[in-house]
Amino acid sequence: MAGGSAEPVGTEFGGCAEALAAMAERALATGAASQIASADIERVLTAMIKLYAAKAEVEATPPHPVSADKITPTEVVVVISEMMRAVNLNLFDLSMWYRRAR
């Protein structure tokens, strides 16, 4: 927990998530997305992907990773494509994982 706080991690995370989402929405609304350091976005996405994967592994039904009503298919494909390039994953590799049993 940040700074030795006694606050439960889930509560602390919820507050941080709300603040980060609000800041990202402001950056998008004002056209300031280019002012955010790519390294900061990479750090946040990497941590969130690791957290999502860990949570999905322990839950019977993995949670939805995004809100379908708040994101476009194009935005999803852009991020997925760049993530696949970053870790040198090809479509064949992806197809092997897509149908894997839980």
- pLDDT, tens digit (0-9, with 9 covering 90-100), for 39-65: 999 999 999 999 999 999 999 888 899
Q: pTM for this structure?
A: 0.81
Structure-block tokens of residue 18: 């709300």
> In the predicted model, what is the mean pLDDT of the chain?
91
What is the C-alpha to C-alpha distance for residues 102 and 89, in angstroms, rounded to an integer?
21
What is the C-alpha to C-alpha distance for residues 47 and 4, in angstroms, rounded to an integer?
20
- Planar angle of CA 49, 52, 58, nearest 5 degrees: 140
pLDDT band at 94 (very low <50, low <70, confident <90, very high): confident
